[in-house]
Amino acid sequence: SQQGEEDPQALSIQEGENATMNCSYKTSINNLQWYRQNSGRGLVHLILIRSNEREKHSGRLRVTLDTSKKSSSLLITASRAADTASYFCATDPHSGNTPLVFGKGTRLSVIA
């Protein structure tokens, strides 16, 4: 079963606006990661936030993590048409050597 669930499934915004995507998960985690996928092929790692961190920034990306609510959000500020892609959260479960579990993703469309 999916560990991470992204919300919304799809998001369409105008260039320059901010985009916010959310991820909820079910079990305790070591870390949570966000990946981007263009054209249904390889994924690119964006950012990793550990369970003892609450917020992390990288360029125009801001990620928050609330372990009490088992949720995370990814904010992309001042969006560009090139940000159009699918965004996935992936959780590293706390229990043993369990592989990363990916959600189904949020499809972001940025309209120029």
Q: Which is nearer to other proteins, 15 or 24 (CB)?
A: 24
For the bound state, the minimum distance from the C-beta of residue 37 to other proteins, rounded and expressed in Å, comes to 8
Peptide bond into 99 cis (omega under 30): no
Which residues make up the interface to other proteins (CB under 8 A)? 2, 4, 30-31, 33, 35, 40-45, 48, 88, 90, 92, 97-105
Q: Which is nearer to other proteins, 48 or 75 (CB)?
A: 48
The SS3 call for residue 82 is helix
Q: Which is nearer to other proteins, 33 or 79 (CB)?
A: 33
For the bound state, the minimum distance from the C-beta of residue 93 to other proteins, rounded and expressed in Å, comes to 9
- How many Cα atoms occupy the beta-carbon half-sphere of 97 within 13 Å? 0
For the bound state, the minimum distance from the C-beta of residue 55 to other proteins, rounded and expressed in Å, comes to 19
How many Å apart are CA 69 and CA 11, to the nearest integer? 23
Count of helix runs (H) and strand runs (E) in the chain: 0, 11
